[in-house]
C-alpha cells in the first residue's frame, strides 16, 4: 500500500508543470496578439508575406538556414524597400491627387505596386494604351527609385471585364491587347526615365483574368498596371 500511494504522489507531482506550460503558452499568445494590434501596417504586411510562404519568403530574403549569399539586391529588406518607395512617392508634388489609387503590398514574390484606374482614366487614357500626364509623371518617379534599388522588375497589365466593341476571340482589339499594350507602354516609360533595360525581366498582359475585385468585374479599379519588384 505505501508503494502505491508513493506512485500516485509521483504522478500528481508533475501535473502542475503541464498546467503551468499551458498558462505560459496562452500568455505568450496573448502578448503576440496585443503586439500585432499595435505594430505598423508595414510590419503586418511583412509578417503576412512570411506566413503565406515561409520557405519562399526566407529564401527570397536569403536569410534561411544555409543561405547561399545571392546577389546584393536579393538581400534588401522588404520593409526598407517599402519605406523607400513610399518616401519617393510622397515627395511627388501632386501625390495627394493619386494617393488613393496607388496600392503597395508585400507578397511572396516581393513588393507589388498597383496603379489603380478611375472611370475617367487616372494613369492611362480610358480604353487606350496611352499614358496620361499623371501616369507618365508617376512612372518617371518610380523609374528613379527602381534604378537605385536594382532589383528585377515584372510589369503586369490588367483590365476590367467590359469587352471592346466589335472585338472577338479571334479578331479585333480586345482586353488582351490593351493589357499587354499598357504594360509595354509602362515599360517604355520606365526605360525612358532611366531604368536599365536588363532590369525588366518579364512583361505580362492578363486582360480580366486576375480581377482585383472579382465580385465587381466592371469596377474600374480592376484596370491597373502592376509593377512587381522581385526579391
Q: Which one has a higher pLDDT value, 85 or 183?
A: 183
Res 2 pLDDT > 80: no
Mean pLDDT of the chain: 81
Residue 151 contacts residue 202 (beta carbons within 8 Å): no
Cα 139–chain centre separation: 17
Domains, the chain, ranges and CATH? 69-230 (3.30.1330.60)
Distance from C-alpha of 81 to C-alpha of 144, rounded to nearest angstrom: 14
Lowest mean pLDDT among 21-30, 56-65, 180-189: 56-65
| pLDDT beyond 90 at 195 | yes
The string of pLDDT tens digits covering residues 82-134 is 888 888 888 888 888 899 999 999 888 889 999 999 999 999 999 999 999 99
Counting every residue, how long is the chain? 231
Whether 154 has a pLDDT exceeding 80, the answer reads yes
Give Rg (Cα) of the chain. Answer: 25
Say if residues 108 and 53 touch (Cβ distance below 8 Å): yes
- Most confident range (mean pLDDT) of 28-32, 66-70, 165-169 is 165-169
Per-residue pLDDT at 58: 45
Which tops the pLDDT comparison, 146 or 10? Answer: 146
Question: In this predicted structure, what is the pLDDT of residue 71?
Answer: 44
Question: 129 by DSSP, 3-state: which?
Answer: coil
- Going by their DSSP bridges, the two strands 200-205 and 102-107 should be labelled as unpaired
Report, as an integer, the average pLDDT of 129-142: 95
Predicted TM-score (pTM) of this structure: 0.67
Amino acid at each position: 500500500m505505501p508503494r502505491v500511494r508513493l506512485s500516485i504522489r509521483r504522478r500528481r507531482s508533475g501535473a502542475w508543470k503541464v498546467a503551468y506550460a499551458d498558462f505560459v503558452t496562452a500568455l505568450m499568445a496573448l502578448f503576440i496578439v496585443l503586439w500585432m494590434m499595435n505594430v505598423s501596417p508595414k510590419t503586418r504586411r511583412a509578417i503576412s508575406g512570411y506566413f503565406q510562404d515561409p520557405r519562399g519568403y526566407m529564401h527570397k530574403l536569403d536569410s534561411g538556414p544555409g543561405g547561399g549569399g545571392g546577389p546584393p539586391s536579393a538581400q534588401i529588406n522588404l520593409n526598407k524597400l517599402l519605406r523607400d518607395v513610399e518616401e519617393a512617392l510622397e515627395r511627388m508634388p501632386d501625390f495627394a491627387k493619386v494617393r488613393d489609387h496607388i496600392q503597395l503590398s508585400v507578397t511572396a514574390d516581393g513588393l507589388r505596386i498597383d496603379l489603380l484606374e478611375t472611370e475617367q482614366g487616372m494613369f492611362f487614357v480610358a480604353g487606350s494604351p496611352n499614358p496620361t500626364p499623371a501616369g507618365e509623371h508617376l512612372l518617371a518617379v518610380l523609374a528613379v527609385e527602381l534604378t537605385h534599388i536594382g532589383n528585377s522588375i515584372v510589369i503586369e497589365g490588367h483590365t476590367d471585364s467590359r469587352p471592346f466593341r466589335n472585338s472577338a476571340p479571334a479578331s479585333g482589339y480586345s482586353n488582351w491587347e490593351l493589357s499587354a499594350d499598357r504594360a509595354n507602354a509602362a515599360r517604355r516609360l520606365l526605360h525612358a526615365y532611366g531604368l536599365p533595360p536588363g532590369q525588366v525581366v518579364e512583361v505580362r498582359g492578363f486582360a480580366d483574368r486576375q480581377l482585383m475585385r472579382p465580385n465587381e468585374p466592371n469596377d474600374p479599379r480592376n484596370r491597373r498596371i502592376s509593377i512587381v519588384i522581385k526579391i
